[in-house]
């Protein structure tokens, strides 16, 4: 069962298609190449929320849909929950 999707292989986050629990190693899929991928979840990732596919340093960018979707405001480790507590829009 696919538990998260990554829109493009170059994206740095995937999107949970089910609730993912910390400690699980969910199965994902790169949508552009149809390749499978797995990442160990460090946090609970609610349905529809992002999971980090790589480490993201403060002031770095998160890439989704091949585009920069925001600025990292707290270090994000691979497998962590990516949301408003560690990612902000670059607009303000």
| pLDDT tens by residue, 32-84 | 999 999 999 999 999 999 999 999 999 999 999 999 999 999 999 999 999 99
Q: What is the pLDDT of residue 7?
A: 97
| Number of structural domains in the chain | 1
**What are the structure tokens assigned to 20, written together?**
């993912």
Contact 39, 28 (CB under 8 A): yes
Q: What is the pLDDT of residue 5?
A: 98
Host domain of residue 68: 4-88
**What are the structure tokens assigned to 41, written together?**
């979840």
Q: What is the pLDDT of residue 86?
A: 98
Question: For position 27, which CATH number holds?
Answer: 2.30.130.110
| pLDDT tens by residue, 11-34 | 999 999 999 999 999 999 999 999
Global pTM reads 0.95
């Amino acid at each position: 069962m696919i538990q998260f999707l990554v829109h493009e292989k170059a994206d740095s986050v995937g999107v949970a298609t089910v609730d993912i629990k910390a400690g699980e190693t969910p199965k994902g899929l790169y949508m552009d190449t149809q390749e499978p991928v797995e990442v160990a979840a460090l946090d609970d990732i609610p349905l529809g929320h992002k999971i980090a596919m790589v480490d993201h340093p403060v002031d770095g960018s998160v890439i989704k849909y091949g585009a920069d979707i925001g600025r990292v405001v707290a270090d994000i480790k691979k497998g962590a929950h990516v949301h408003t507590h560690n990612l902000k829009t670059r607009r303000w």
